[in-house]
Chains A and B, each alone.
Chain A
């Protein structure tokens, strides 16, 4: 169980200005050097190159903004952010650089730090998505940007679809209201569009939701516009504060799911994939002969808890983040600790070996049987999560609400590593948004 590579977290200077009061979350833009921090009734967008304020979104919400999501796949001179608020609405905001057609506008401006220009422009609240009965806790765009999911204390998940004729035509329709959770829905997350090809009769978009009812649910569109719950993940013994899909799954495996909870554990869940996706399994369905193809598949998916990360926290875990680049996971919570974990190959004695992640993943691809999250197959034991490092009091005595991996563009990063090297960003009750270098 000995951690192998020692890793250190080195604090970098915090983003400026200090927000002074509780900040909930900081979301990096999918491609541009921008970070959106939700705090109080507004959002402050920071530049990742200057580590200072780029712009703010204000006067759109009557109560705190709890979460934000960047709309993906837009040209670099257009920004679109959705905010989810305790006032029970979600706001869709746009920021457009109209003046500089063709010159690469925004990207040049934000990387060059031309702040005077930026301040003349403004975010505009375009659409208010109204429908939830109480606080919206989380908002998330699907990988294509076609769908937006919102969730609330009202126990529901809403899926909204962009039905506008063009990007500028903001028309959003409610396509589903999912009411199966028995408590507040704390977070929603869409599966990345890697290795998640349409399974059987379902569409390719997959949504996961985490709840106060201690469960996680997985939702898919059935091909006829109906969204159905295909799995309920039970195991956590407290509110599930959040979820993240495996950002970069290996060997064509379906992305795994990372969940974290008030029960102070972080779990990894794996879909039990059928042996052959293309054909109906002979043994199970042979007796059903002539029924239409769409009826043959089970509507349900089987998800099993395949790992619990080493214990590192003493109170609620509010946030965790899984790197697409390195596969490292970091977590934070009420105890003010940052914990860093790595999935490593090891021999049967539990010692970490030199096998690569890919080899470990290949082993997992074998026909592995599991029960109650405990692997029965010997091969499975050759992969385990190790705790690499912990950083106590990362925000002094304050709670830490959020952590995310994010690319570096700041002056302290070697020029050839800009946009490549990763850092962690934590967001705390002290209103500090702090980057951390990993070495």
Chain B
């Protein structure tokens, strides 16, 4: 089968944004410590939906729920940039489908968090070409990955970045539809594709 985009632009892994210092701002750096960051991360890929393991198991020294480290844009980026593209043997980070500046968290993670306060994570994706038919599958993969990894007070919205896709309204509406997403995950073929995409997220 012909690929939609046979020659995508590929970023070197060492050029991808990464957390240089866990506490510091998240400016894209050139130090190649991304792999280390991934290795040190606890597996957050959970099989049961809505399992709240990730916040309970997050690295906190105290039992006090209020000292949980906030989840920032870099952490969201780390969760999804390692997802594999469904047609190239490359990650969504390498293909620049997901980009750190296109991840928005509201309210800002620097504010004190109450585990019941809704936090919106908005991810705008840039499909490799404007008519990429796999944009929906990629968006679905990101939504599923984040819903499985993030605490239940997070609301994940995945949208196509304006002007980068010819049917962005349709794709956005599908990705926002909880019922369609739930049904899609019960479709064995689609679930197989998604599982394969998420295999590289460890």
**Which A residues fall within an 8 A CB radius of B?**
21-22, 63-64, 66, 86, 134-135, 137, 153, 184, 186, 212, 239, 262, 314-316, 318, 334-336, 392-393, 396-399, 429-430
Contact = CB atoms under 8 A, between A and B. Distances in A.
A63 B173 CA distance: 23
A182 to B, nearest CB: 12
A66 B151 CA distance: 24
B179 A66 contact: yes
22 contacts: A21-B49, A22-B49, A22-B182, A63-B183, A64-B182, A64-B186, A86-B186, A137-B179, A212-B177, A239-B173, A314-B118, A315-B155, A318-B178, A335-B118, A392-B116, A396-B116, A396-B152, A397-B115, A397-B152, A398-B50, A398-B152, A399-B178
B184 to A, nearest CB: 10
A22 B152 contact: no
Interface string B142-166: 0000000001110100000000000
Given A64-B182, A397-B153, A336 B118 contact: yes
B176 interface: yes
Contacts of A134: 183
Nearest to A135: B183
Interface size class of B (residues with CB under 8 A): 10 to 19
A74 to B, nearest CB: 30
A20 B149 CA distance: 18
B50 A430 contact: yes
A221 B173 CA distance: 33
Contacts, number: 59
Q: 4 shortest A-B CB distances, which residue pairs? A: A397-B153, A397-B152, A393-B116, A63-B186
B48 interface: yes
Nearest to B50: A429
A430 B91 CA distance: 32
Interface of B: 48-50, 115-116, 118, 151-153, 155, 173, 176-180, 182-183, 186
A335 B117 CA distance: 10
Given A22-B50, A336-B118, A397-B153, A316 B183 contact: no
A396 B118 CA distance: 10
Contacts of B180: 153, 184
Contacts of B186: 63-64, 86
A63 B50 CA distance: 18
A316 B116 contact: no
Contacts of A314: 118
B49 A397 contact: no
Contacts of B155: 315, 334
Given A66-B179, A239-B177, A262-B176, A21 B50 contact: yes
A336 B173 CA distance: 21
Contacts of A429: 50, 152
A64 B49 CA distance: 14
B69 to A, nearest CB: 18
A29 to B, nearest CB: 25
Contacts of B178: 316, 318, 334, 399
A418 B127 CA distance: 58
Nearest to B177: A239
A335 B50 CA distance: 15
B176 to A, nearest CB: 7
Nearest to B157: A315
